[in-house]
Amino acid sequence: MSTDEDTTTAGGRPAAETVIPGVLQDLLAAKGPSGYETAPAEVFRRAAASFGAQTHTDAVGTPSALVPPRGSEGGGRPAGAAAQAEGHAPRGSGPGGSPSGSGPSGGQPSAEGHGPPAEGNRRLIVMGHIDEIGLIVTHIDDDGFLWFREVGGWDPQILVGQRVTVSTAGGREIPGAIGKKPIHLLRDEERKKVAEIRDLHIDIGARDREQASEMVRVGDVAVLDAAPVPLPNGRLLSRALDNRLGSFVALEAARLVAQEGGAPDWELIAVAAAQEEITFGGSRTSAFSLAPDAAIVVDVTHATDAPGIEIKDLGKHPLGSGPVVSRGATLHPALFELLCEGARAQEIPFTIEASGRHTGTDADAVHISRGGVPTALVSIPIRYMHSPVEPVCIDDVHAAAALIAAMALRLSAETVLRR
């Protein structure tokens, strides 16, 4: 059993061994800034189909994967079972995705919304956002340099001197680098100033505007070119851990529940929300359309074992201490207790984080959807958030998925979620 002061390392791998799960590796390799998540969403769908989940992608670009309740038709299907690509049938619907006893057949999702749970079942969504921060081209100048704005929140100092990959509408990936005026040429007063986005440009090696315009268009997006790197002590260094980790944990929790034949009386939908870094677009629309009875949002939080972090403000959440379960004003106390009980029962290490107002995650959108959704937040500690060098302990990732699966399997028709 762990508390908010527990620093026991999750798992027990040798210090020098770091094994990166293949699906997580693929998610991190895929490029997908906010609003352009097609590549990582396809990785998510393929992985979900491999363990028999029913997959769907909505108009915003959010993929989801449904694991039916235990004992229901299609529940507990073996890995490799075919995925249903047409989308999730609304609750209270008959075969083919239409309201029971009426409507067309063929598995098409209904536009009518969700009715009451079929056969007394309820719905849990586990949501991690799949987008990452990036850059968008705003102008191509006469010399062929690309000028840009941020997609999501950047510290401009991080961007100076970074290699980038610009993704075009035609599917090409154009390498480049972010440049600025060299220090040798800066005036004394300029050296004292921090770089701003407007001072930076992308160099793709073009001779002039004409050649650059043949390669890239205004509105094309870019991400930093930073491949995942295994580190000692079971750690991984990568860009986009915020929040491909959340998408991976949601998917892995769904796989673990499917492996047990589904949760009793509850269906589980893993959701990889689009556009969290800019609008909460994916979480707003998914929470509304899926109408869950409960939700667990999975995101990253600040590891507190890096220099300069004040634990009196944030609590103590070092790498290797397990998932972080949030407790606070907008989060549901019953779900918090269920998560803690599941962690203790399975001897999963965890820490506790307090939230006095909004969380800065998709939980802020989900919990006020429709008439309100009981919502919990589970986070994974990482260092140097919103950079291309975010470290994480892989054991914390696996522990987060195990924790959520353990809680989902403890749910029943009698579970009461009341303030």
- How far CA 345 is from CA of 35, 338, 348, 403, in Å, comes to 40, 10, 8, 10
- The Cα–Cα gap between 98 and 92 comes to 9
Q: Is the peptide bond before 243 cis (omega within 30 degrees of 0)?
A: yes
Selecting among 252, 267, 276, 390, the annotated active-site residue is 276
Residue 354 DSSP code: E
User: Biggest alpha carbon distance in the chain?
Assistant: 77
State yes or no: is 119 an active-site residue: no
3-state secondary structure of 187: coil
Phi, psi of 31 (to 5 degrees): -100, 130
Name 378's bridge partners. Answer: 298, 325
Helices and strands in the chain, H and E counts: 11, 17
Q: What residues contact residue 170 under an 8 Å CB cut-off, 6+ apart?
A: none
By the 8 A CB rule, do 243 and 326 touch? no
Phi, psi of 353 (to 5 degrees): -120, 135
- The Cα–Cα gap between 74 and 190 comes to 64
Residue 395, H or E segment: helix 394-410
- The Cα–Cα gap between 282 and 292 comes to 14
- The Cα–Cα gap between 336 and 404 comes to 11
- The Cα–Cα gap between 262 and 281 comes to 29
By the 8 A CB rule, do 76 and 262 touch? yes
Task: Work out the angle at residue 242's Cα, subtended by the Cα atoms of residues 236 and 247, and round it to the nearest 5 degrees.
Answer: 90
- What are the catalytic residues? 276
